Amino acid sequence: MDKFSIKEIFEDEINSLWNIEQFRSIPLYDRGYAIPDETKTKSLLFVGINPSYYLQ
């Protein structure tokens, strides 16, 4: 099974997209995003608001 590191290849691009000013108005923006560290080749990749955020 072939895998590759998302962080090594795409971290800068993902951070650039996440830091677009318009996204700061999204509710829960401060939670950050969640993305897998690696993925299989020829697979889908989902990026979303971090679901493991602790609510007080």
Average of per-residue pLDDT across 16-34? 84
Residue 39 CB neighbours (<10 A): 16
Q: What residue spans define the domains of the chain?
A: 3-49
Please state the pTM of the whole predicted model: 0.62
Give the contacts of 34 (CB within 8 A, at least 6 positions apart): 47, 48, 49, 50, 51, 52
- Which pLDDT belongs to residue 16? 92
Average of per-residue pLDDT across 26-35? 80
Average of per-residue pLDDT across 16-21? 89
The two structure tokens encoding residue 23 = 């996204």
Q: What whole-number distance in Å separates Cα of residue 51 and Cα of residue 33?
A: 8
Q: What whole-number distance in Å separates Cα of residue 51 and Cα of residue 38?
A: 18
Average of per-residue pLDDT across 43-49? 75
